[in-house]
Amino acid sequence: MEQARQTDLAVFIQGLPKVELHLHIEGSLEPELMFELARRNGVTLPYDSVEEIRAAYQFANLQEFLDLYYQGMAVLRTRQDFHDLTRAYLERVAQDNVRHVEIFFDPQGHTERGVPFTDVIEGILDALAEGERDLGISSGLVLSILRHLPEEDALKTLEAALPYRDRLLGLGLDSSEVGHPPSKFIRVFEKARDLGLKVMAHAGEEGPPAYLWEALDLLKVDRVDHGNRSLEDPALVARLVTEGMTLTVCPLSNLKLRVVNDLTKHPLKSMLDLGLKVTVNSDDPSYFGGTIGENYRAVAQALDLGRDDLAQLARNGIEGAFSTPERKAALLDELNAHLTTS
Ligand code: ADE
Ligand code: ZN
């Protein structure tokens, strides 16, 4: 009986039309492709096999992950590499019935290695256009600022992106959170808002609630990435609920980076019950052990989520997207059709 219920739920989850709002394209680099690109580009990796790479993916905190993440991205050198990376991600999530994605890229991680900004962004945009054409996955691209670097670097990066203004959805903020508060980036976020970009920031992953307040009040973010630590501050939760702010939560990431010790202790269900607009996302799927679909399946099991919770998570993803009203309405129709037929 229990087995039948689980199978039923797995089928229900598979058919949910999903939206991924928190995905670092460089974090979707699977070890197999990492090896292939290393060979293609004559880059030496400090590993002998795919198994050795996977075994190295054990992290005590965010920084330990970031050290390997920046090391891994060194195999990405050409426009073709960025295309192949993005295409591989889209083909994988098409299997999860992902219908729309808004993905981050970290240009500073590439330009500081001598890779031209144009090659990075053109390669990604090529693959996103193909994903729309071949897989029916709509998308947006978010330029993410590395917060451990000075704001001057961020301003120069935004400047380099100006010719692509119309093909960018937004500006994000990622990398080492503690010690690099949102207040460090007031000017670059103001500039992005003036350009009409959507703005978002990683906040409250490892950083305190004060960083979330800063993201809201100083950066005036349209969306919050992670936001787990908002739960420590009831006034902050009230504000996020009142504003209908979307939080892009990443359960398997939180487990791998020890933001939570055990998935059964993950705050996702409490966040839903408080009325926060939480969504499910994979963050860096190749490092954290699962796509968005695997994140849905893992939390459904660990937190004993039912169909209503899962449907609400999928709905929050659609509503939290920065897509056109027409696309969002079409995705809501897909969701409603799934709910009435399964
Ligand atoms: N860059 C890639 N993944 C990240 C995460 N989870 N937090 C901060 N920076 C990141
Ligand atoms: Zn992230």
Q: Which domains does the chain have, with CATH numbers?
A: 2-341 (3.20.20.140)
CB atoms within 10 A of CB 121: 23
Closest by CA to 21, choosing from 270, 223, 288, is 223
Quick check: is 151 catalytic?
no
pLDDT of residue 16: 98
What is the CB-side half-sphere exposure of residue 262 using CA atoms within 13 A? Answer: 4
Which residue's CA is the closest to the ligand 1 atom numbered 8? 175
For the CA of 26, the closest atom of ligand 1 is 2
pLDDT number for residue 6: 80
Q: Separation of 4 CA from ligand 2 center, angstroms? A: 35
Looking at the CA of residue 106, tell me the nearest atom of ligand 1. Answer: 1
pLDDT value of residue 1: 66
Q: Determine the pLDDT at residue 232.
A: 98
The Cβ of residue 97 has, within 10 Å, a number of other Cβ atoms equal to 18
How far is 214 from 217, CA to CA, in rounded Å?
Answer: 5
- The finding on whether 283 has its CB within 6 A of some atom of ligand 1 is yes
pLDDT tens digits, residue range 142-177?
A: 999 999 999 999 999 999 999 999 999 999 999 999
Please pick, among 20, 205, 206, 214, the residue that the annotation labels catalytic.
Answer: 205
Average pLDDT, the chain: 97
